[in-house]
Each structure stands twice: as structure tokens, then as C-alpha cells.
Amino acid sequence: MNELQDIWVYLSASPLLSLLVTLAAFILSSWINKRAGGTPFLHPVIVAIAFVISFLLLADIEYQDYFEGAQFIHFLLGPATVALAVPLFDHLERVRQMLVPLLVACVTGIVTAALSTIGLVLLLGGSRETLLSLTPKSVTSPIAMGIAEKIGGYASLTAGLVLITGAIGCVLAPWIFQRLRIQDQSIQGFTMGLAAHGFGTAYCFSSIGAMAGAFAGLAMGLTGMLSAFILPLLVKILGI
């Protein structure tokens, strides 16, 4: 029994366990999602996060210790963001044709996302920390975390809220596109990348098509870059 405990102490401190749990949770949640007919209500990322949190609470492992190991997966977000240049390049001609509308829509979308969030939280009486952590919710997580820190929110809370926003976007988007009768892949992709960042992009690649994915990736990068300038300014102007 003592030996088992020693092994457990060793395992819970090594990256092996974090990596294994993360991968197993993701494979299991993808399988569940497929079984449920691919419904975005059981988004594999959200379900996997729930599994991992449950496991960590049951096994009494701190988040910091888990992240020690899981950071190897987290790190790949960097090269994955760089990799978005490839689908973008493939659809460059189409992006060129639509450049001005895309830029206008992007700024409109960023301001809409921020103002509607700020207005709702103020109206409903949420705390200032909640407000400032929520404001960058549509921005891809590495950029959102930087913005949250800059304007006075909690970066790690923002990271989580960004993910939930992404999942909500994937649930709402197909319904909204149907309502507005929007069938163009490039518009669907750009809208999802703007409002639901990486989640929207992943959803576009897996459920709509490569063209939608390319536009989603473009929207995600553009929204991130512009938000880094616009959001701190907006918060300052509104005097929050």
C-alpha cells in the first residue's frame, strides 16, 4: 500500500499524469459528442474541462501542479496560431476582394461585443472584477488575457470565460445564420471567428468547410490585434 502511495505522489507531480488525463478526457468527450450527434451543447472542450476539473478535485491536485504538465499542450496554441497563415494564404484572393467590408465588420463587431457586455453587466449589477474580466470575452485567449490584465480584470478568469463564450457562439451561430439567411461560407466563418475566436474557427474547420475556417482564422487574428488597441481605449473613455 505504501508503495502505491509513493507511486501516486510521484505521478501527481510529473507531467505524465496531466498529459494523460487531458488527452483521455478530450478523447472521451469527443466520443460522447459524436454519440450525441455532434451537438454544440456538449462541446468536447467544455466537457473535457469538466472531466479534468472533476478529476483534479477528486484526486486533490492543485491547478498549478496540473498546469506544470499540461503546459506542453497549452504551448502548442502558439504554433497553431502561426499555422493559421496557411488556410489564410489558400483563400487570399477572396480576402483581398472583401478587405474593406471585413475591416468595417470587424471594428463594428468588436465594439458591439464590448459595449453589449459592459451594458449588460452594469444593468444586472455584476462586480467590477466580473465586468473587466468579461469585456475581452470574444478575443482569442492569449490576447484576451493580456487585455484583461491591462484594464484590471483577472487574466485566468478571462481565459475561462473566453472558452465558454466560444462554446456559446458555436451553439448560437447556426441558428442566427439561418434566421438572417446567411449561407456564404466566408461571412459565416468571419462572424464566428470574430465572436467565438478559436472555438468558432475549430467549429468552422470541422463543420462548415476550409473556406469558412480560413475566414474565421482571419477574423480571430484581426479581432485580437484590433481589440488590443480598441478595448483599453474604450474602457478609459467610458470611465469604468
Report the C-alpha gap between 193 and 125 in whole angstroms: 29
Residues in 127-146 at the binding interface with other proteins, rule: CB under 8 A: 127, 129-130, 134, 137-138, 141-143, 146
Residue 3 or 93 having the CB closest to other proteins: 93
16: contact with other proteins by CB under 8 A: no
Residue 1 or 124 having the CB closest to other proteins: 124
Residue whose C-alpha cell is 505524465: 16
Q: Which stretch binds other proteins (CB under 8 A): 7-15, 34-42, 84-92?
A: 84-92
Binds other proteins by CB under 8 A, chosen from 13, 15, 154, 207: 154
Report the C-alpha gap between 158 and 15 in whole angstroms: 25
Report the C-alpha gap between 27 and 25 in whole angstroms: 6
Q: Which long-range contacts (CB under 8 A, 24 or more apart) does 61-67 make?
A: 61/12, 65/12, 65/13, 65/18, 66/18, 66/21, 67/18
163: contact with other proteins by CB under 8 A: yes
Name the nearest CA neighbour of 232 among 132, 82, 85.
Answer: 132
184: contact with other proteins by CB under 8 A: yes
Rounded to a whole number of angstroms, the minimum distance from the CB of residue 1 to other proteins is: 29
Instruction: With CB under 8 A as the rule, give the number of residues binding other proteins.
Output: 106
Q: At what angle do helices 185-203 and 210-238 cross, to 10 degrees?
A: 80
Binds other proteins by CB under 8 A, chosen from 150, 152, 207, 240: 150
Residue 16 near residue 69 (C-beta atoms within 8 A): yes
207: contact with other proteins by CB under 8 A: no
58: contact with other proteins by CB under 8 A: no
Report the C-alpha gap between 74 and 122 in whole angstroms: 33
Residue 9 or 103 having the CB closest to other proteins: 103
Residues in 30-49 at the binding interface with other proteins, rule: CB under 8 A: 44-46, 48-49
112: contact with other proteins by CB under 8 A: yes
Name the nearest CA neighbour of 169 among 144, 208, 197.
Answer: 197
Residue 6 or 229 having the CB closest to other proteins: 229
Residue 8 or 97 having the CB closest to other proteins: 97
